[in-house]
Amino acid sequence: MNDSRPIFNDYEWTDTHRQQMDRDGHIVFPDLLTSGAQRQLTESLARIHVIPRSEGQGPKPTNMYAAEYEEYLESLIAHPQMLELAHHVLGDNLRYDHCVSLIRPSGNKGSGWHTHGYGEVDPNLGFVRVFFYVNGFEPDDGGLKAVPGSHLYRRIGIRSSVDDREMWEAWGADRTHPETGDPMKVENLSAPPGTVALMWTHALHAVTPRKASSDTRWCVVYAYRNPGEGSNARRISFSFEQKCREALGTLAELY
């Protein structure tokens, strides 16, 4: 857990970034990952992607517990640049929640519209996901779709197909941005290789199918949150938790 090679190119977190994150529910930093981090992440994700099903689909499937299967992925949990970015969003007091691989091979069907929850009892508790889009995506090819402002409704359990019309039927009639008053609409994001995206947990989002003619989309997400409630999304085995506690202290604690 001591790999301190840079993972991010130079950037500056500004008040404008914070305002955009809180207004839209997500923010995208193109070309933030260094070329070295992109190479290493590709190798690491490819390595866990081919772990035999019998070894990786028991109580700890490789996609849901990615950092427990690969040393470099593990090292990024507490990487100084990673934690600096998480602190910009969540403040001083935060916890590691999970590391999930989101690998989309050619022909992958994508992911339907959905939301996640946390902090329903105390809305001051934040939960952010940090997506590493190693080789990027186009909007119609394993692309991330989001609805700016949807996170402010803090709705959980929204599930639909990737079809926008079906999503709006599941969402309901409240389609006005709570802060700006503008109509909410779908944003089809794009990401060049090395893109990092951050998203609040309540944001409504989906992933378009990966084209059969495209190569594998390599992506991994790290999640952090303010402590205070139990997390249904937390993915950490008992043995890994004990290991993390010794190395990371309170970062690995639930509360």
pLDDT confidence of residue 245:
85
pLDDT confidence of residue 60:
83
Spans of the chain, pLDDT less than 70: 1-2, 52-59
Q: Using one digit for the tens of pLDDT, what is the confidence trace for 206-215?
A: 999 999 999 9
pLDDT confidence of residue 53:
55
pLDDT confidence of residue 248:
87
Domain 25-252, second-level architecture: Sandwich (2.60)
pLDDT confidence of residue 77:
96
pLDDT confidence of residue 58:
61
pLDDT confidence of residue 129:
98
Q: Using one digit for the tens of pLDDT, what is the confidence trace for 164-204?
A: 999 999 999 999 999 999 999 999 999 999 999 999 999 99
Domain locations in the chain?
A: 25-252
pLDDT confidence of residue 122:
93
**Dihedral, CA of residue 28, residue 29, residue 30 and residue 34, to nearest 10:** -140
